């Protein structure tokens, strides 16, 4: 019988295997290009929902930012800290729910990628996240975040379904499905913990991840309810203008605290 676990708890040791095909260096270059385009004097950078810290650590290779990574999952943060120590990277990591900011610092740039915002399935939660980030930004700082659209789920669900991975200590099997009516994408993971000597399964866990797909129009209507100025809407990993046909959209919002 599987034990149901909080998301990204038992999956944490497997996360880098799960994300093995992601080119974090190119993604870091894209984030850097956005920062240099919209706030080239930025120094302090905070990542929300950083996972195991791979993108923050890739940005550190550019040696031009003071970097902090946060994630709701303490287990993911522990992996990120271990990687920072292993690679001797000067970046700070600590657990934090982006719906409940606990940082006393302010930042020039805050970013969140890989559809982390899609985990927020109601408008009010997105507005809360955006407002929290606004409070944590310096005047004229920028918030960068991406989200996936219904088209992305339609195109990716078959590729993601029946996906498997193994680290020797753990293995996972993922079932992926998309509800077109509710626009909810389900990723369900069965995670097996293995005895490294015998290879036998010692524990089995289950995590269900649910994300809501948002259209560009929907997300822009949410942003309009916040204090930000919309700087840009980018299609995928380019600086081309996003459209309703985009599968992934990256928004750049400017913090405005004074009238």
- Residue 144 is predicted with a pLDDT of 98
Tell me which long-range contacts 66-70 makes (C-beta under 8 A, separation of at least 24). Answer: 67/91, 67/92, 68/44, 68/92, 68/93, 68/94, 68/103, 68/105, 68/107, 69/93, 70/46, 70/94, 70/95, 70/96, 70/98, 70/103
Domain boundaries, the chain: 15-149+214-254, 151-212
- Residue 259 is predicted with a pLDDT of 55
Cα–Cα distance, 246 to 231 (Å, whole number): 18
Q: What are the phi and psi torsion angles at 139 (to 5°)?
A: -55, 130
- Residue 102 is predicted with a pLDDT of 82
Whether residue 188 contacts residue 207, with contact meaning beta carbons closer than 8 Å, is answered with: yes
- Residue 1 is predicted with a pLDDT of 59
- Residue 184 is predicted with a pLDDT of 98
Question: Which architecture, in CATH terms, is 151-212?
Answer: Single Sheet (2.20)
- Residue 90 is predicted with a pLDDT of 93
State the pTM of this model: 0.96
pLDDT in 10s for each residue of the chain, 259 residues: 578 899 999 999 999 999 999 999 999 999 999 999 999 999 999 999 999 999 999 999 999 999 999 999 999 999 999 999 999 999 999 999 999 988 889 999 999 999 999 999 999 999 999 999 999 999 999 999 999 999 999 999 998 999 999 999 999 999 999 999 999 999 999 999 999 888 899 999 999 999 999 999 999 999 999 999 999 999 999 999 999 999 999 999 999 876 5
> Could you tell me the fold of the domain covering 15-149+214-254?
Rossmann fold (3.40.50)
Phi-psi bin for 107: left (phi > 0), alpha (psi -120 to 50), beta? beta
- Residue 26 is predicted with a pLDDT of 97
């Amino acid at each position: 019988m599987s034990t149901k676990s909080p998301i990204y708890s038992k999956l944490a040791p497997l996360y880098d295997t799960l994300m093995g095909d992601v080119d974090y260096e190119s993604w870091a270059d894209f984030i850097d290009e956005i920062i240099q385009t919209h706030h080239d004097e930025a120094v302090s950078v905070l990542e929300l929902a950083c996972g195991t810290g791979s993108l923050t650590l890739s940005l550190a290779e550019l040696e031009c930012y003071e970097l902090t990574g946060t994630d709701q999952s303490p287990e993911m943060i522990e992996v990120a800290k271990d990687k920072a120590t292993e690679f001797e990277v000067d970046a700070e990591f600590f657990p934090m729910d982006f719906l409940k900011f606990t940082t006393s610092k302010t930042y020039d740039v805050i970013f969140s990628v890989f559809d982390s915002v899609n985990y927020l399935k109601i408008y009010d939660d997105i507005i809360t996240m955006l407002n929290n980030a606004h409070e944590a930004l310096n005047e004229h700082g920028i918030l960068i975040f991406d989200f996936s659209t219904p088209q992305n789920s339609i195109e990716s669900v078959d590729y993601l379904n029946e996906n498997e991975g193994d680290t020797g200590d753990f293995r996972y099997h993922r079932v992926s499905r998309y509800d077109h009516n509710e626009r909810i994408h389900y990723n369900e993971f069965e995670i097996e913990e293995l005895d490294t000597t015998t290879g036998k399964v010692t524990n089995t866990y289950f995590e269900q991840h649910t994300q809501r797909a948002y259209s560009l129009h929907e997300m822009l209507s949410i942003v309009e309810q916040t204090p930000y100025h919309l700087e840009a809407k980018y299609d995928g990993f380019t600086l081309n203008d996003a459209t309703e046909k985009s599968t992934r959209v990256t928004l750049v919002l400017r913090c405005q605290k004074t009238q």
